[in-house]
Amino acid sequence: MIAPFNGGGGEKSPLKAASYECKIGSEAFVYKKGINHPQKIYDGSQEYLTIPANSIVFVESEIYFRLPPFIAVRFNLQINHVHRGLLLGTGPLVDPGFWGRLCIPLHNLTNQDYHISKDDGLIWIEFTKTSSSPTHGRPPSNTDFPNIKKFIEKAAKPIFEDAAPIEILSSIPDMVSEANAKAQIAADLAQKSEKSAKSLRNWSVGGIIVGALSAVGLTATVAGLSWQYYDDNQTDIGGIKDKTTNLEKSIDQHIRDVDRYGSTPIEARASLYVLRGTVEQQQGKIKKLSDQVAELKAELDRIKPKPCDTKQTVC
């Protein structure tokens, strides 16, 4: 039913109460990118089978099976390989009547090459008895499959006759390459952004300093012009006030003269009305100038630089 068979005892015996250990055979194949037929990477002469990182490798079983019509086989990967990141990529059932060696797809999910010694166990096999003479369904097949390469080429056969065979590859390497490329692009963009931000910070600091100096200079200029304008208006107002005061004195004297003489010629009364009108005009100008001076003083108080705080570095 299986060959070779070792029924000896001891801790290293391949035979257990419910299963039998199977090692790697003499062949292993892998697909490489751009090549649509399997490449042999192991021929039995090496001490180890190397399964490349993030790859699928098709391994031949050491055992040759010649199953009777009433015996089915189930198998699974040894648990230590599972714990190390290896995955068995096929169904665990072999139907009765199978002749040949198993083709075992192994998927290395890790980012490191995985090594299996030819003396180490690969899978555990379980035998199950079925009906001795099945009467329903597909009859058992006794077709001999001694070469696993035929299994692989059959699996890679395309649906359309004129299409090229399928490359049975893991998608992880492409995903890793794409992720690395995007990560590099992101790193380049981040570096450019950092440079731009640094330049912007430098320009911002310089702009703040220049802007502050310009604002101080402009404030000083406006303040100087405003104070000059304030002084000029104060001088004009003082002169107008003096003239108005003298004019009021003249009017008062004129009124006293009118009162003293009891009657005043028409010319004297006319000049009195003119003088009163002139005084009213001068008083209106004084009021207008006083209002302007008050507004200017308020504006100067608003833009006047405040004393520097001893805790601040910029006034």
Whether pTM > 0.75 for this model: the answer is no
In angstroms, what CA-CA distances link 58 with 93, 126, 254? 17, 21, 133
Q: Where in the chain is the domain with CATH 2.70.40.10?
A: 2-170
Q: What are phi and psi of 218, to 5 degrees?
A: -65, -40
Q: Are 297 and 230 in contact (CB under 8 A)?
A: yes
Q: Are 146 and 100 in contact (CB under 8 A)?
A: yes
Specify the CATH architecture of the domain 2-170: Distorted Sandwich (2.70)
Distance CA 56, CA 132 (A): 37
- Judged by phi (left if over 0) then psi (alpha if -120 to 50, else beta), residue 200 lies in alpha
Q: What is the pLDDT of residue 204?
A: 53
Q: Are 57 and 29 in contact (CB under 8 A)?
A: yes
Distance CA 90, CA 198 (A): 56
Three-state secondary-structure class, residue 181: helix
Mean pLDDT per block of 10 residues along the chain (315 residues) reads 86 88 94 89 94 93 91 92 87 84 92 94 92 70 74 84 82 80 84 73 57 56 55 60 63 57 51 65 76 75 62 52
Q: What is the pLDDT of residue 91?
A: 63
Kindly report the number of other CB atoms within 10 A of residue 288's CB atom.
10
